[in-house]
Amino acid sequence: MSPPGRSLPQVDLIVPSLDHEEAFLDAVARSRSLHAHFVEPPATSANYRLNIARQREPRYELRLVVDRESGALARVVNANEIVRGAAQSAFLGYYAFVPFAGTGRMEAGLQAMLREAFGPLGLHRLEANIQPDNTRSIDLVKRLGFRLEGVSPGYLRIHGRWRDHERWAITREDLPG
């Protein structure tokens, strides 16, 4: 999934709880400019708690990516709108927190989420929808083995505007080894 010999920082995936609320909201606040028009993470206590409550739904798996060295929240990854039956698929969502952008922790966190999605969660396919100008995210999914499947005009409404997204996907068979 990563270039041979490339060493990534060590991270852990954890299921968020109310205990993480303050650290999460602080991370969102300091990362507003990074998120810009790409993502709208929960920025209030009420929205964070709604997100936590979604964890009880079988179609949503949210994880916090924690930097093992500092113990700080570095990223968020999720598999959402999980479809069972013949599809066994989900949409992959993720975003970084300052100061961890560009440090390899997202790649490490997504690798861990892919292992979880295609392992214990029993999924066959993950799809990541990415705005065309989010080149860092596109480069990331390419490194992980995702393939471009098309473009969805006006796919998601973010910060009040319908935005085009490229559809990138990976299946269990696409994983190396």
* Amino acid found at 90: A
**151-168 pLDDT, tens digit each:** 999 999 988 899 999 999
* Amino acid found at 167: R
Provide the CATH number for the domain around residue 50: 3.40.630.30
Round to whole Å and give the CA distance between 1 and 141: 9
pLDDT of residue 101: 82
Round to whole Å and give the CA distance between 111 and 2: 9
Q: Classify residue 103 by its DSSP letter.
A: S
Q: Are 151 and 132 in contact (CB under 8 A)?
A: yes
Domain assignment present for 91: yes
Domain assignment present for 3: no
Domain assignment present for 77: yes
Query: What is the pTM for the complete model shown?
Result: 0.88
Q: What percent of the chain has pLDDT over 70?
A: 96
- Residue ranges in the chain whose pLDDT is less than 70: 1-6, 177
pLDDT of residue 177: 65
In the chain the beta strands, taken as DSSP E runs, fall at 11-14, 60-67, 73-83, 89-96, 125-130, 147-158, 161-171
Q: How many domains does the chain have?
A: 1
Domain assignment present for 1: no
Q: Are 97 and 73 in contact (CB under 8 A)?
A: yes
**11-35 pLDDT, tens digit each:** 999 999 999 999 999 999 999 988 8
